[in-house]
Amino acid sequence: MIKNYMEYLVEDFLSTIWDNNKLNMCTCEKCKDDVMSLALNNLKPHYVSSSEGELFTKVESLKQQTITDVVSSVTNAIEIVKKNQRHNC
């Protein structure tokens, strides 16, 4: 099975800040999906198809630049969704 490991990283970071609900925005699933989609569309994908590839990617994800890219992309996506919600919350 092929997976984009960036989905895991974005979802993990987003869940951490989403659950604290200090975002001053709607936290419904639709808004969360919009944030995640937008963030992922602005990150380079890291596809893996084996447990060895997943392990290598986990090690790579610990690099500071990868963490910075994920945080930046999620933060930007939150601001965009906050200003352009597709529904009334």
Report pLDDT digits (tens) over 15-50.
988 877 778 888 899 999 999 999 999 999 988 887
pLDDT at 59 over 70: no
Does 57 reside within a domain?
Answer: yes
Does 89 reside within a domain?
Answer: no
Does 9 reside within a domain?
Answer: yes
CA–CA distance, 53 with 75 (Å, rounded to integer) = 28
Name which of 2, 3, 74, 78 is nearest 66 in CA terms: 74
Name which of 69, 64, 51, 52 is nearest 6 in CA terms: 69
What is the structure's pLDDT at 29?
A: 92
Domain count for the chain, please give it. Answer: 1
Q: Domain range for residue 16? A: 3-83
Does 44 reside within a domain?
Answer: yes
Residue found under tokens 């609900």 = 21
Does 88 reside within a domain?
Answer: no
